[in-house]
Structure 1
Amino acid sequence: MKKDKKETVLYRMPAEFSKHKGTIMIWPVRPGSWPNGGVMAKKVFTEIARHIARHEILYMVVSKDYEKEAREQLYLAENEADYKLINSNIELVIADTNDAWARDTSPIFVKKLDDKGKLNGEVRGVNFSFNAWGGEYDGLYVHWEEDDKLAINLCDSLGYDYFDYAPFVLEGGSIHTDGKGTLIATESCLLSPGRNPKLNKKDIEDVLKDALGIKKIIWIPYGIYNDETNEHVDNVCAFTSEANVVLAWTDDETDPQYAMSKADLDVLEKETDCDGLPIKVHKLLIPKNPVTIKEEDLEGYEFEEGEDERELGERLAASYANFYIANGIALVPQFGDDNDAKAIALLQELMPEREVIGIYARDIIVGGGNIHCITMQIPE
């Protein structure tokens, strides 16, 4: 049920590291995103879904046409370990979508503040417009109607009231918050002309503060090199706890990522959170060897007219910063690279209360995203 936006002053977006009720994912089927019918992507999505379902409810959004396929792959046989726990925690939600980027098309959830300013109240969704990361200006596919409707459809299906901020365009991957009221975003993304071209920076800040209960916004210049989302923040910088962030980094000054990350670092090292605590930055190396599109990848895509197409040798936006935090665990992308283990070690050090689990993620990033991009949390 749609609610009056004036009430949002009583609500705030929690941090991802706070307690969850569940996680939303979408079954990957779009032929222009997932090569070879998404066979490999579906295996990785299933692996991720099962990890999450050991700790919280996993809502898998799937169209009616693929319900049988998703059920057969997601649910464990009765003789397999953890089958009762996992099967009971995976719920299929029947809804049409254009693609599988749950982070960007699901509702962003906020939680009501109590009289002491703590997040102890009910959970509601927030609906924003989605236009495939740029609409007619530089969007990545032509038809996004079902994705744009998904946030409201999910709120209705899962029983959440929501605040409606459409037609303001915002994707969940373009923001990161600490749950206290501090939000980090990239200028390259939120100020891009394909999203809200009639609004200036101050206008955008006002909407974010009003819709998500934000008190302070930290703008960093850039995201990850060649990130086709106009450089979402969730691929370059993420909170691991209050006043602690990881920043995607390379020591190779000849890599185009170096100047971008250095510019972000220069901002973050001078910043404080909304309570005045200095932001502590932890450098999280990107893969040593660039991850690129191979010939066998290209042979598996089926692009529709007007859709952004892949090119042989294209550098993909591979980053370990695109991890996902669920209850008790953190799922971290892995690429078969020398820096894989270093990423896990750093994140385990920063989140000692969680089990940090590596997930081979190349079969996700060939679709244009990563682990964080395909998951959206619902607070407890």
Structure 2
Amino acid sequence: MRISKADCPEMIKETNPAQDGFYMPGEFERHQGCIMIWPERPGSWRNGAREAEAAFSAVIRAIAGSETVYVAAGKKGIGHAKAFAQSLKEENLYPVIVFEMETDDSWARDVAPTFLVKNVNNNSIALTADNQMSVQEDCVKNKKVYIQDLCSGTNIRCEKDSTGMEIHTGKNLCIRGVNWNFNAWGGTVDGLYASYEKDNAFAWNFCKKFGFTCYDARPFVLEGGSIHSDGEGTLLVTESCLLSEGRNPSLTKEQIAEKLKSYLGAEKVLWLPRGIYQDETNEHVDNVCAFLRPGEVILAWTDDKNDPQYALSKASFDYLSSEYDAKGRKLIIHKLPIPDTPVCITKEELEGYEFEEGEDKREVGERLAASYVNFYFSNNAVVMPAFGGENEKSDRRAQQIMAELCPERKIIPVYARDILTGGGNIHCITQQIPAYIVSSSDK
């Protein structure tokens, strides 16, 4: 799917998404693309980002198997990013679109816009696999067809070319972004680097470049990795993150919940107590728990009561077991064990970093927040981390569990230690753009 540029994208401050009928769909729903940022920062990506570039490239290739990937890169790294994208031209993949845009680091999940879709007559307008197939068949049969956009009443041109189906529209009126305030996971309290102005500008810059109207949620501080949505009114968050002193200290828990409901079109917020041990984001929810589908979650787990993660996961399991979602459903909870052997930073790895003043520094032997829940749902796959070495058995176990829980998707493991040593994982470096509806009955 290609995003076409709007004539006049706007920053909306007068209303919020809930008032305008927009909401955050589930990541497991259909996408028109994924945003990533090429790795460059010396304090995150060791050895001139050599290992990180290989890991990011593997993630890009896996995602491009079923959706377009938009890769932002700064002046320093754009040559490498473009060369990699060019190398994929001969493969049967969706486009990898590289564009120049400066950032402070590469955590697209946290600095890119959170995208919402519009609810039309109480029907989700996120593109489903079924109605996309009907559109694809029309494209193949008629070469070009025109389908009405329910949001604007304008026509969408549908074409089929060598890359597969692409949908173009004059404006992305059915999809809007949210621009949160970003302060590097805690600002002056416990933020991870001192200068984050370029990261904080990325969401709006992306929306302007690719034609998305955007809601301005500032000064509310939030990162995309701190929220998960089931697309039916329920959000997952962690108390440890959203109630941390470095984000919105002047707001109560209830006030934060109301902000989330207003800007994500949600009805209920589920507050997990904790996340993954040693997660430097104050324990983002995307590293510990995710929706597989409405009413069903996957939770990072360990049976080892001596592991510090046990108490954290047990607290979240007990909480989720006692709760209902926005539709009144008791949640089905699946457990996804963390790696059996803790993943820790080595002396060799540490020597490859170049930290700047005010930047959080790593230490030899530091335990990293390794979790298999930090996966990305692409349109036809689960792109999930693998850690290798002593954890090869753990990797295979996690892949088997996800294959059983998501039989409709491919399981694509990516060696992700070189992302983890930067401070996050696959979900942290990706941000989905949901697909908008096209209705064959409106042609």
TM-score w.r.t. length of structure 2: 0.83
Tell me which residue corresponds to 1:138. 190
Please give the secondary structure, in 1, of the residue aligned with 2:319.
helix
- Verify the 8 A CA contact 1:49 1:74 in the aligned structure 2: no
- Tell me the distance in 2 between the aligned counterparts of 1:93 and 1:12: 28
- Tell me the distance in 1 between the aligned counterparts of 2:37 and 2:66: 18
Alpha-carbon offset, residue 117 of structure 1? 4.2
Tell me which residue corresponds to 1:105. 111
Residue-by-residue CA offset, 1:326-359 (whole Å, 9 max, x unaligned):
1001101111112111111111111111001111
Give the paired residue count: 375
Residue-by-residue CA offset, 1:116-165 (whole Å, 9 max, x unaligned):
24235500000000000000000000100000000000000111001100
- Tell me the distance in 1 between the aligned counterparts of 2:300 and 2:181: 28
Alpha-carbon offset, residue 273 of structure 1? 1.2
Out of 213, 224, 238, the residue aligned to residue 186 of structure 1 is 238
Task: Output the amino acid matched with 1:372.
Answer: H
Matched, 1:304 2:359: no
Tell me which residue corresponds to 1:150. 202
Please give the secondary structure, in 1, of the residue aligned with 2:382.
strand
- Verify the 8 A CA contact 2:343 2:368 in the aligned structure 1: yes
Tell me which residue corresponds to 1:16. 27
Out of 236, 257, 268, the residue aligned to residue 216 of structure 1 is 268
- Tell me the distance in 1 between the aligned counterparts of 2:229 and 2:418: 27
Tell me which residue corresponds to 2:50. 39
- Verify the 8 A CA contact 1:292 1:313 in the aligned structure 2: yes
**In percent, how many aligned pairs have the same letter?**
51
1:36-185 pair list within 5 angstroms:
36-76=47-87, 80-82=90-92, 85-86=93-94, 89-120=95-126, 121=151, 122-185=174-237
Task: Output the amino acid matched with 1:20.
Answer: H
- Tell me the distance in 2 between the aligned counterparts of 1:67 and 1:4: 33
Please give the secondary structure, in 1, of the residue aligned with 2:77.
helix
Alpha-carbon offset, residue 4 of structure 1? 4.3
- Tell me the distance in 1 between the aligned counterparts of 2:104 and 2:36: 13
Task: Output the amino acid matched with 1:340.
Answer: D
Tell me which residue corresponds to 1:362. 417
Alpha-carbon offset, residue 63 of structure 1? 1.2
- Tell me the distance in 2 between the aligned counterparts of 1:74 and 1:167: 36
- Verify the 8 A CA contact 2:39 2:52 in the aligned structure 1: yes
Alpha-carbon offset, residue 91 of structure 1? 0.5
Task: Output the amino acid matched with 1:64.
Answer: K
For the aligned residues, what is the CA RMSD?
A: 1.1
TM-score w.r.t. length of structure 1: 0.97
- Tell me the distance in 1 between the aligned counterparts of 2:383 and 2:432: 13
Residue-by-residue CA offset, 1:88-111 (whole Å, 9 max, x unaligned):
x11112111000000000000000
Out of 225, 233, 244, the residue aligned to residue 277 of structure 2 is 225
Alpha-carbon offset, residue 81 of structure 1? 3.9
Matched, 1:292 2:344: yes
- Verify the 8 A CA contact 2:109 2:431 in the aligned structure 1: yes
- Tell me the distance in 2 between the aligned counterparts of 1:171 and 1:207: 13
Where structure 1 has 5 or more consecutive residues not aligned to the other structure, the ranges are none
Residue-by-residue CA offset, 1:45-73 (whole Å, 9 max, x unaligned):
11111111121110001113322121112
- Verify the 8 A CA contact 1:284 1:321 in the aligned structure 2: yes
Where structure 2 has 5 or more consecutive residues not aligned to the other structure, the ranges are 1-9, 127-150, 152-173, 436-443
Alpha-carbon offset, residue 7 of structure 1? 4.9
- Tell me the distance in 2 between the aligned counterparts of 1:299 and 1:74: 30
Please give the secondary structure, in 1, of the residue aligned with 2:205.
helix
Matched, 1:6 2:19: no
Residue-by-residue CA offset, 1:286-320 (whole Å, 9 max, x unaligned):
00000000011111000001110000000000000
Moved over 6 A (4+): none
Task: Output the amino acid matched with 1:346.
Answer: I
Please give the secondary structure, in 2, of the residue aligned with 1:58.
strand
Alpha-carbon offset, residue 282 of structure 1? 0.4
Matched, 1:342 2:353: no
Alpha-carbon offset, residue 77 of structure 1? 6.1
- Tell me the distance in 2 between the aligned counterparts of 1:177 and 1:344: 23
Worse-superposed segment, 45-54 or 233-242 = 45-54
- Verify the 8 A CA contact 1:50 1:74 in the aligned structure 2: no
Alpha-carbon offset, residue 205 of structure 1? 0.5
Question: Larger radius of gyration, structure 1 or 2?
Answer: 2
